[in-house]
Amino acid sequence: MTGAAAVRTVAVVVAYNRRDLLIEVLDALAVQTTPVAAIVVVDNASTDDTAELVRTRYPGADLISVARNTGGAGGFAIGAARAVVRQDADLVWLMDDDTVPTPTALEALVGSVGDDRGVTIAGSRVVWTDGQDHPMNTPRVKPFVGARERAAASARQAVPVRSSSFVSMLVRADALREHGLPIADYFIWNDDFEFSTRILRRSRGFFVPGSVVVHKTVKLGATDVDPGARFYYEVRNKIWLLRLASGLSPAEKVLYSGSTVRRWARTFIASGNRPLLLSGLRSGLRDGFRTQPRANRDALAGLGEATDDVIACEAGVA
């Protein structure tokens, strides 16, 4: 690849029971000013007509229908592997089925990354339906950035970051081969943080404000809004990340431990069902300390070609 024009970008959309929003996403991908080379749709065992919709309305999409819901983490692992192994991607553009990219979203991402292979991840500015920045997807700016790195990012209309969100994340295929896929057992929550910090510990990442996507969540809110029973995943996965993840330095783990406790406290204060959150906290702490995520080849076993793609993509990962 000598420049943006030579790059083969494959979009990956993970879908679960939101067929009407999925139509908006796929229609938006079709009108990008920098075209995608292919679109991979992972239907995560939807119970609506998502799979049939894609087959009939978007026959050119590469549809993967899996037999069980693998969560966002599993879906992105499956889709990214497909993009690398079967679609020969240079760049993989990851997004949920409620993420609607504006027409120039990909153009801005690819333009910022350009031919600088040291930049492995680029993320979009995420807004809600009213146009204001979505607090759920605020990028973590990279701390202690040197003047040289900051200037290089600024020249590409970007900001250096330490992590990025699956709500529009562009990833180099080489980084996926070298560092591995998202960890499927995370299922939901903290999967993109673990994945992006793992890659960006030894490379550079960008936040690209000129690339805009609309995250069509039901409500506008940050990650500390009351999650109900899903709080279990937040707790278990955060403990896994702080105990086991290779993407954070020891100092960063101390820093994020403190911010995690503060976020959990805000969640409890705002909750209308604290006993439910307390139950999730207890079980999440128990499983976070007593267990660890399985290798993707085991967590995603029995899914046919999807399993084969994951194994092939991660074959060279240490």
Domains and CATH numbers, the chain: 4-223+292-313 (3.90.550.10)
Query: Whose CA is closest to 91, among 65, 72, 119?
Result: 119
101 alpha-carbon distance from chain centroid: 15
pLDDT band at 224 (very low <50, low <70, confident <90, very high): low
Locus of tokens 């790195």: 149
Residues 6+ apart with CB under 8 A from 145: 160
User: Which pLDDT belongs to residue 111?
Assistant: 94
Percent of the chain with pLDDT over 90: 73
Kindly state the average pLDDT of the residues 72-101. Answer: 97
The model's pTM: 0.92
Q: Tokens 């994951």 — which residue?
A: 310
SS3 122: strand
**223 or 152, greater pLDDT:** 152
Q: What is the pLDDT of residue 65?
A: 96
Mean pLDDT of 2-12: 74
What separation, in Å, do the N-terminal and C-terminal C-alpha atoms of the chain show? 26
Query: How sure is the predictor about 141, in pLDDT bands with cuts at 50, 70 and 90?
Result: confident
Rounded to an integer, what distance in angstroms lies between the CA atom of residue 201 and that of residue 287?
26
Residue 306 CA to residue 66 CA, distance in Å, equals: 8
Under the banding of pLDDT at 50, 70 and 90, the label for residue 3 is: very low
Region 35-62: what's the mean pLDDT? 96
Give the pLDDT score at 4: 44
What is the pLDDT averaged over residues 69-97?
A: 97
Residue 292 CA to residue 181 CA, distance in Å, equals 16
Give me the count of residues in the chain.
Answer: 318
Q: Which region among 4-13, 163-172, 283-292 has the lowest average model confidence (pLDDT)?
A: 4-13
What pLDDT band is residue 223 in, cutting at 50, 70 and 90? Answer: low
Which residues have CB under 8 Å from 50's CB, separation 6+?
15, 16, 17, 18, 19, 22, 43
Q: Give dist(CA 94, CA 196) in Å, integer.
A: 12
Q: Which of 66-75, 209-218, 224-233, 285-294 has the lowest mean pLDDT?
A: 224-233
**pLDDT of 220:** 64
Average pLDDT score over residue span 132-149:
79
Cβ-contact 53, 23 below 8 angstroms: yes
E strands, the chain, are 9-15, 38-43, 62-65, 91-96, 99-101, 119-127, 159-161, 169-172, 204-215
CA dihedral sign, ordered 28, 30, 31, 32: positive
Taking the C-alpha atoms of residue 141 and residue 182, their distance in angstroms, rounded to an integer, is 21
Averaged pLDDT of the chain: 91
pLDDT band at 1 (very low <50, low <70, confident <90, very high): very low
pLDDT at 136: 77
At residue 74 the predicted structure's pLDDT band, cuts being 50, 70 and 90, is very high
